[in-house]
Chains A and B, each alone.
Chain A
Amino acid sequence: MESSKVIQAIYNDDDVLLSAVKKVKSEKHHIEEIYTPFPVHGLDKAMGLAPTRIAIASFMYGCVGLTVAILMMNFIMIEDWPQDIGGKPSFSYIENMPAFVPIMFELTVFFAAHLMVITFYLRSRMWPFKKAENPDPRTTDDHFLMEIPVHGNENDLTALLKETGAVEINLVDKDH
């Protein structure tokens, strides 16, 4: 039977949290989620999360942005309404290319940055008007919360978490 009970251990220091994560992992417990007020360096590695692929996504978005810029400038400045700016009416994209480089650069960055942020939000299951999943508002201020699913071993877990320096340990039933 799948249990919906979790233990929520609260810490008030990121270094304590990091060593607690290592300890819990070494005892072969599964960590469901950790909520922190700020990004903790090295936490993903300690939790054993797979490396992020957002850099690859970002590279691809950048390529899309570059392509959009080239096609757009070619259409606007060369094909649809050829424009003579700075005495360079050569009607050729490649010969006017230096003038378009700033736009190519900006759109590459624009696409890469914005789409990467949107991807990150969606991948983290965050979108407008969504109810916060955050179990404790203190994790947006100065506390760190580690969530571990319980499979009838709450006493062992509580003892272990106490030992790692948790300042507060709660048993929560997620179904309620």
Chain B
Amino acid sequence: MYTFSNRLKIGAIVLMVLGALMVGYGFIDSHKSLDDVKVMLAEEASAHGGHGEVAHAELAHDNGHAKAAEHGTTHGEADAHHGDEHAEHVMHQIHNRPYSALYVAAFFFFMIALGVLAFYAIQYAAQAGWSPVLFRVMEAITYYVLPGGLIVLAIAFFADSHLFIWLKEGMTVEGHENYDALVAGKSGWLNKTGFFIRGLIFLGGWSLYRYFSRKFSKAQDQADDNRNFKKNFRISAAFLVFYIYTESMMSWDWIMSVDPHWFSTLFGWYVFASMFVSGITTIALITIYLKSKGYLEFVNDSHIHDLAKFMFGISIFWTYLWFSQFMLIWYANIPEEVTYFVTRIEDYKLPFFGMLAMNFIFPLLVLMNSDYKRIPWFVVMGGIVILVGHYIDVFNMIMPATVGDRWYIGIPEIGSVLLFLGLFIFLVFWALSKEPLLAKRNPFIKESEHFHY
């Protein structure tokens, strides 16, 4: 049995409190009025050497000297009006930032748990012989699926049009100033009621599977036949079918819809790769942590080796999907599609290309060598970079749509990560302390204990 040490418990609570304070500060700090924003923009413009004025002067010059005065005034008015609109836009982006930061972090930790749930189901469905010694670690991580998912939905509910532009007033009402024909065309799917009903169905299905598989896994410990294991095998196979559809739809709803004009047909797979690799990495990190504390004595370095192989392989799989999505859109260069990447390359150059280095080049080079996959500190180092890289991946999916170029990894973002990291650690290790760490009556447990590469 694992006991949740007080130090870790206090550490998790400190993270949550600190995170909550920083998130609170982020919300207060973002309460800027239109006038504040105008002052801020003026300051920025002067700091940048007043590009606006130069362009304006040239334009007036082109219009000829005779009409210069007349043009100057109309132009000035148009410009002032445009300036107002721009300032309002920027103000909205600034207001959106703490919501987005909270949403990105909440989704990231939820996605870890969901990725582990899929990995766990695959182990059962494939009747894998190497992994049953890790089942209790996986079950503990998947405890976070339900609370984590409800939090994501709650943030979506309260953030409303701060995150999802299609929830803005009048988007689907013809004749309204916010009317958007494309969003109106999609409103059969993209509407608030549908969004939350679907969200609850997805979460309900995943949680039901999690509840029953955990129940059968515990019952198997006490059983003298393999009935519970067989039940688990069957529900795992069924769950995987349900999961691959609902995960895809979830990714359209919860992520892709922040850019409601844009769509990508392999987006669900792309998000799946991200959650799968983050989940496996988290299993490896928690396993190594528990081993360093003297638990999990039956886990040997071949298990770590296998997890590291998955981290390596799925990182490459993620890159494959990322590139498949990118290259087709880049090559076809259709305006409605390519804006997605134009925004990211223009305004998010560092996180966009930095994430490629962290999620592809780094794991490729660090985890390629077979011997390094069994050195714990190597796996931990690779794992932390992969996790940060996939946080930035989610960041890149949400932020460009909600805050545009007003992004920064500052207090709201770091605070949100700390808040959910604390919650994740608290719930996962609490769940870990509920059951013995070895699923001792699993039919494959002997094979798993003697597993060697």
Instruction: Give the B-binding residues of A (Cβ under 8 A).
Output: 55, 59, 86-88, 98-99, 101-102
Give the shortest distance, in Å, between A36 (CB) and chain B (any CB). Answer: 20
Q: A86-B332, A86-B333 are in contact. List 17 more A-B contacts (CB 8 A).
A: A55-B369, A55-B370, A59-B368, A86-B331, A87-B333, A88-B331, A88-B333, A98-B323, A98-B326, A98-B327, A98-B330, A98-B331, A99-B327, A99-B331, A101-B323, A101-B327, A102-B327
Count chain B residues whose beta carbon lies closer than 8 angstroms to a beta carbon of A: 10
Chain B's interface: helix, strand, loop or mixed, by majority?
helix
Which residue of chain A has the shortest Cβ distance to B323 in the bound complex? A101
Cβ contacts under 8 Å, B333 to chain A: 86-88
Residue of chain B at shortest CB distance from A87:
B333
Alpha-carbon distance A101/B327, docked complex (angstroms):
9
- In the complex, 14 of the A-B residue pairs with CB atoms within 8 angstroms, ordered by the A residue number, are A55-B369, A55-B370, A59-B368, A86-B331, A86-B332, A86-B333, A88-B331, A88-B333, A98-B323, A98-B330, A98-B331, A99-B327, A99-B331, A102-B327
Residue in chain B with minimal CB distance to A102? B327
Interface residues of B in 315-344 (CB under 8 A from A): 323, 326-327, 330-333
Q: How far is the CA of A109 from the CA of B332 in the complex (A)?
A: 26
Q: Which residue of A lies closest to B320 (CB)?
A: A105
User: Distance in Å from the Cβ of B354 to the closest Cβ of chain A?
Assistant: 18
In the A-B complex, the 10 residue pairs with the smallest Cβ-Cβ separation, listed nearest first, are: A98-B327, A98-B330, A86-B331, A99-B331, A101-B323, A101-B327, A87-B333, A98-B326, A55-B370, A98-B331
Q: Report Cα–Cα, A55/B373, bound state, in Å.
A: 14
Tally A-B pairs: CB < 8 A.
Answer: 19
Q: How far is the CA of A86 from the CA of B330 in the complex (A)?
A: 10
Nearest CB to that of A55 among chain B residues?
Answer: B370
Bound-state CA distance A101–B369 (Å) is 23
- Per the bound structure, the CA–CA distance linking A86 and B327 in Å amounts to 12
CA–CA, A102 and B370, complex, Å: 26
Chain A residue, CB-CB nearest to B332: A86
Which residues of chain B come closer than 8 Å to A55, judged between CB atoms? 369-370
Residues in B whose Cβ lies below 8 Å from that of A59:
368
Which residues on B are within 8 Å of A, measured CB to CB?
Answer: 323, 326-327, 330-333, 368-370
> Shortest beta-carbon distance, A164 to chain B, in Å?
23
Q: What residues on A are CB-neighbors of B330 within 8 Å? A: 98
Q: Could you tell me the distance between the alpha carbons of A55 and B368 in the complex, rounded to whole angstroms? A: 10
Once bound together, how far apart are the Cα atoms of A98 and B345, in whole Å?
Answer: 14
- Distance, CA A80 to CA B327, complexed state (A): 24
Distance from B308 Cβ to chain A, minimum over Cβ atoms (Å): 15
**Closest residue to B326 on the A side, CB-wise?**
A98
B370 → chain A closest CB, angstroms: 7
Q: How far is the CA of A101 from the CA of B330 in the complex (A)?
A: 13
Q: Which A residue's beta carbon lies closest to that of B369?
A: A55
Q: How far, in whole Å, are A55 and B370 apart by their CA atoms in the complex?
A: 9
Q: A87 — which chain B residues lie within 8 A by C-beta?
A: 333
Q: A101 — which chain B residues lie within 8 A by C-beta? A: 323, 327
CA distance A61 to B332 in the complex (A): 33
Assembly CA distance A98 to B330 (angstroms) = 8
Q: Which residues of B contact A99 (CB under 8 A)?
A: 327, 331
**Closest residue of B by beta carbon distance from A85:** B331
* A-chain residues with CB within 8 Å of residue B323 when the two chains form the complex: 98, 101
A124 to chain B minimum Cβ distance, whole angstroms, is 21
Taken together as a complex, chains A and B put the C-alpha atoms of A86 and B334 apart, in Å, by: 11
Contacts of B327 in A (CB 8 A): 98-99, 101-102
CA distance A101 to B332 in the complex (A): 16
Q: Tell me the nearest residue of chain B to A86, going by C-beta.
A: B331
A10 vs B332: C-alpha distance when bound (angstroms):
63
A87 and B330 CA atoms in complex are apart in Å by: 11
Cβ contacts under 8 Å, B368 to chain A: 59
- Cβ distance B453 to chain A, nearest Cβ, rounded Å: 10
Q: Which residues of B contact A98 (CB under 8 A)?
A: 323, 326-327, 330-331
Q: Which residues of B contact A86 (CB under 8 A)?
A: 331-333
Closest beta carbon of chain B to A18's beta carbon, Å: 13
Q: How far is the CB of B376 from chain A (nearest CB, A)?
A: 21
Q: How far is the CB of A128 from chain B (nearest CB, A)?
A: 32
Across the interface, which residues of B come within 8 angstroms of A88, CB to CB? Answer: 331, 333
Distance (whole angstroms) from the CB of A52 to the closest CB of chain B: 10
Instruction: Give the Cβ gap from B427 to chain A, nearest Cβ, in Å.
Output: 41
Bound complex: CA A59 to CA B370 (Å): 12
Least CB separation from A56: chain B residue: B369
Please report the C-alpha to C-alpha distance between residue A102 and residue B368 in the assembled complex, in whole angstroms. 21
The smallest C-beta distance from B342 to any residue of chain A, in angstroms, reads 14
Nearest to A99 among chain B residues (CB) is B331
Q: Smallest Cβ distance from B449 to chain A, in angstroms?
A: 17
Which residues of chain A come closer than 8 Å to B332, judged between CB atoms? 86
User: In the bound complex, what is the Cα–Cα distance between A124 and B444 (angstroms)?
Assistant: 38
How many angstroms from the CA of A102 to the CA of B326 in the assembled complex?
13
Closest chain B residue, CB of each to CB of A42:
B452
CB distance from B412 to the nearest CB of A (A): 33
CA distance A161 to B336 in the complex (A): 75
Nearest-neighbour CB distance to chain B for A61, whole angstroms, equals 14
- B41 CB → nearest A CB, Å: 33
Q: Which residue of A lies closest to B330 (CB)?
A: A98
> CA of A98 to CA of B353 in the docked complex: distance in angstroms?
13
Q: What is the CB-to-nearest-CB distance from A116 to chain B, in angstroms, rounded to a whole number?
A: 15
Contacts of A102 in B (CB 8 A): 327
User: CA separation between A55 and B369, bound complex, in Å?
Assistant: 9
Measured CA separation A87–B333 after assembly (Å):
9
How far does the alpha carbon of A105 sit from the alpha carbon of B289 in the complex, in Å? Answer: 36
Q: Which residues on the A side are within 8 Å of B369 (C-beta)?
A: 55
Q: How far is the CA of A102 from the CA of B320 in the complex (A)?
A: 10
User: CB-CB < 8 A to B370: which residues of A?
Assistant: 55
Q: Return the chain A residue nearest B329 by Cβ.
A: A98
